[in-house]
Chain A
């Protein structure tokens, strides 16, 4: 059975999102105690990325 229309594209989009979040967190964790600026920026970046996912505006993602 073939994938439904959106599934493959949404899958690819979310895979990139998840990778970006993991990269951001992985980079920031070792800096948490010594460099608050890096941690702050990472948290902000994660907030921004996740706010797009939470909005769930799939048609925008696929443009």
Chain B
């Protein structure tokens, strides 16, 4: 349900004029919600930024997510490759 909640919040923020990108660990749900931009990551529920205390991996995931902001082929739904 978290992924649906995020999708709905994400749309409200886009509607208010800000660009958004979400990180998703549940591709099956996010593909139904179809937010404007989402990065699928290969980690379990509860681990959207990969691993605790792994700032290098967390930063790489954030950079990959932010890189989707430059695209305009909506919806931008991409997979992160560690």
Q: Do A and B come from one complex?
A: no
